[in-house]
Amino acid sequence: MRHQKKALKLGRTAEHRKALLANQVCALIEHQRIKTTLAKAKAVRPLAEKMVTLGKKGSIHARRNALATLRHKTAVKKLFDQIAPRSTDRNGGYTRIVRLGQRKSDSAPMAFIEWVDAAQVAEEKAAEEKGAKTKKEKPVQAKEPAPEPKESAPMPAEESKPKRRGWLGRKPRDAEK
């Protein structure tokens, strides 16, 4: 009987699976969205949500538990400082899995796993960058004209098209010589 055996094994040993999931959660924390197989995304989701719950607690004990699981100080710091405070009003459901279809090589079902609040952060950053670009573009200063290059050899008026490669990507024999 299989009662209360929820863990997805992913065809790995316990140590390998634990390390894989910790690395996936660290990548999710760092990049806000990762592309992986659907089975791995479904296995990562509970661990990621537990880490956000620890981040919302904010105590030293919670920080040490997160560090024991993830083993990356920078990821734990970003989790506690940036990701968990965004989710204070939410009671679970911090991640979203978006199905992408199948991978070409082996037809494995692919998916994005991302933070639910990440879309708001991306929109705010885009607005800030857009505003910063317009501010940077407004003060235009007169620049000195670039010095003209010295003429060493006359440039051909029109460059000839490169020769097409032969069969199966090999260069033609006359091009090798």
106-122 pLDDT, tens digit per residue, is 999 999 999 999 877 67
Q: Inform me whether the pLDDT recorded for 151 exceeds 70.
A: no
Is CATH 3.10.20.80 what the domain over 14-123 is classified as, yes or no? no
12 Cα distance to chain centroid = 24
User: What's the pLDDT at 140?
Assistant: 56
User: What's the pLDDT at 79?
Assistant: 97
* In the chain, where the domains are located: 14-123
Which stretches within 58-165 are classed as H helix?
60-70, 73-78, 84-86, 118-137
Element (H, E) at 15: helix 14-31
